[in-house]
C-alpha cells in the first residue's frame, strides 16, 4: 500500500488594536508620515518604541522623520511568492532613515539586482490610499527624495498631535494562509482508506492488548510494534464533551453544537468528533452514540466520511 499525501491550507484571521508608539507609527503611515521615538539616551528608534530596548526607560518623545534613508544591508528576492509585497523581483533591505539610529526593514524596488548596493540613497514611494500599515509605503526606490525634506521634529506635544495620527484608533487585520502537504504515513493512511469504505479500523498491541483508534505504528504504552489491525463497530459512548457557542472563521455548522470525545466499543482510547441530531442540553457523559456516514458519493479517505455521531437511544 502506498501512503497518502494531501495538500492542505490553514487559514485564519485576527484583529488587534494598537496603542502607544505602534499607533503613532501606523497612523502616521496612513497620513504619509514616518514617525520614530527618541529614547532617554537620545537615540532615535524606528519603528518607534514605548520603552528603550537597552535601558527599559520610557520613551521621552516622538519625532517625525523625512522620507529619505540609506540602505545598510540587503538581500535580493529573485522569485517573489504569492504573499510577497511586490510581484516583481525586489530587495529586502534594512533602510536607515536620515536622523534615525536604527534601521527599518522594508523592500526596495530597484528594478534589478545590479542596481542595488549597500549605502545607496533611497526614498519612500507611497501608495495612493493609506490604511495604517507598513505597506502604505509601497517600497523604497533609489535616489533622493524630490522637494523639501521634512525636518526631524521635536517633542510630540499638542501642536504635533494632529500630525502624529490625528487621534485615530488603528486596528490591524491579519489574514494568515499557510499551505502545506500532509503525509500521514502508512499506518494512518490505512486507517483513512478504511474510512472511505465505511470501516473504522483500530490497532491492537500484541503485548498489552490495548486497542487504539486511530491506530499507531507502535503502542504508546509499551512501545511494541507494529500493532495488529482490528476492525471496530461504529458505535460507542461519549467520554466527555463540550458545547461550542462562539463562531469562528470557516464555521459551517449551526451554533450551538457539540464536540465530544467518543470511545468506540472495544477501544481503549477515545477520539474527537461531532455529535448531532440532539439538543446540546440532552447530551450526557456515557451516552450511547453511533456514526452517521455521508452518502456513498461523498466517501473519501478522511474523517469527514463520518458526518457526525448521534444518540442511539440505548439505555434511555
pLDDT for 1: 65
Taking residues 168-179, report their average pLDDT: 81
Higher pLDDT, 41 or 263: 263
Q: What is the pTM of this model?
A: 0.61
Cβ-Cβ contacts under 8 Å for 217 (sequence gap 6 or more): 185, 186, 187, 225, 226, 227
106-135: per-residue pLDDT in tens?
999 999 999 999 999 999 999 999 888 999
| pLDDT band for position 53 (cuts 50, 70, 90) | confident
Taking residues 178-196, report their average pLDDT: 94
Contact call for residues 293 and 299 (beta carbons, < 8 A): yes
pLDDT above 90 for 59 = no
pLDDT for 167: 55
pLDDT for 160: 41
The mean of the pLDDT values for the chain is 89
pLDDT for 137: 97
Query: Which residue, chain included where needed, has cell 457526525?
Result: 308
| pLDDT band for position 316 (cuts 50, 70, 90) | low
pLDDT for 172: 82
**The Cα angle at residue 226 between residues 222 and 227, in degrees rounded to 5:** 75
In 3D space, the residue among 43, 32, 34, 37 whose CA is nearest the CA of residue 20 turns out to be 37
Lowest mean pLDDT among 53-67, 82-96, 167-181, 223-237: 167-181
Higher pLDDT, 72 or 254: 72
Taking residues 144-171, report their average pLDDT: 54
Integer Rg of the chain from CA:
29
Amino acid at each position: 500500500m502506498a501512503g497518502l499525501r494531501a495538500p492542505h491550507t490553514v487559514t485564519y484571521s485576527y484583529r488587534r488594536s494598537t496603542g502607544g508608539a505602534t499607533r503613532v507609527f501606523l497612523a502616521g503611515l496612513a497620513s504619509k508620515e514616518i514617525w520614530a521615538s527618541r529614547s532617554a539616551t537620545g537615540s532615535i528608534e524606528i519603528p518607534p518604541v514605548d520603552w528603550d530596548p537597552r535601558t527599559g526607560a520610557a520613551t521621552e518623545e516622538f519625532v517625525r522623520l523625512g522620507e529619505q534613508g540609506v540602505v545598510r544591508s540587503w538581500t535580493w528576492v529573485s522569485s517573489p511568492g504569492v504573499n510577497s509585497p511586490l510581484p516583481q523581483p525586489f530587495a529586502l533591505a534594512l533602510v536607515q532613515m536620515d536622523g534615525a539610529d536604527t534601521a527599518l526593514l522594508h523592500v526596495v524596488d530597484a528594478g534589478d539586482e545590479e542596481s542595488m548596493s549597500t549605502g545607496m540613497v533611497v526614498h519612500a514611494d507611497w501608495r495612493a490610499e493609506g490604511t495604517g500599515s507598513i505597506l502604505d509605503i509601497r517600497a523604497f526606490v533609489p535616489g533622493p527624495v524630490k522637494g523639501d525634506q521634512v525636518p526631524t521634529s521635536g517633542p510630540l506635544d499638542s501642536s504635533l498631535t494632529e500630525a502624529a495620527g490625528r487621534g485615530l484608533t488603528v486596528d490591524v487585520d491579519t489574514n494568515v494562509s499557510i499551505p502545506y502537504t500532509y503525509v500521514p504515513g502508512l499506518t494512518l493512511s490505512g486507517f483513512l482508506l478504511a474510512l472511505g469504505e465505511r470501516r473504522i479500523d483500530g490497532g491492537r498491541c500484541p503485548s498489552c492488548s490495548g486497542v487504539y483508534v486511530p491506530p499507531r505504528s507502535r503502542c504508546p504504552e509499551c512501545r511494541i510494534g507494529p500493532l495488529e489491525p482490528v476492525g471496530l463497530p461504529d458505535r460507542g459512548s461519549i467520554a466527555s464533551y463540550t458545547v461550542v457557542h462562539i463562531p469562528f472563521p470557516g464555521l459551517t455548522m449551526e451554533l450551538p453544537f457539540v464536540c465530544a470525545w467518543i470511545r468506540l466499543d472495544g477501544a481503549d482510547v477515545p477520539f474527537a468528533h461531532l455529535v448531532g441530531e440532539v439538543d446540546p442540553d440532552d447530551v450526557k457523559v456515557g451516552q450511547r452514540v453511533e456514526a452517521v456516514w455521508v452518502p456513498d458519493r461523498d466517501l473519501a479517505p478522511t474523517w469527514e466520511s463520518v458526518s457526525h455521531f448521534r444518540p442511539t437511544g440505548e439505555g434511555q
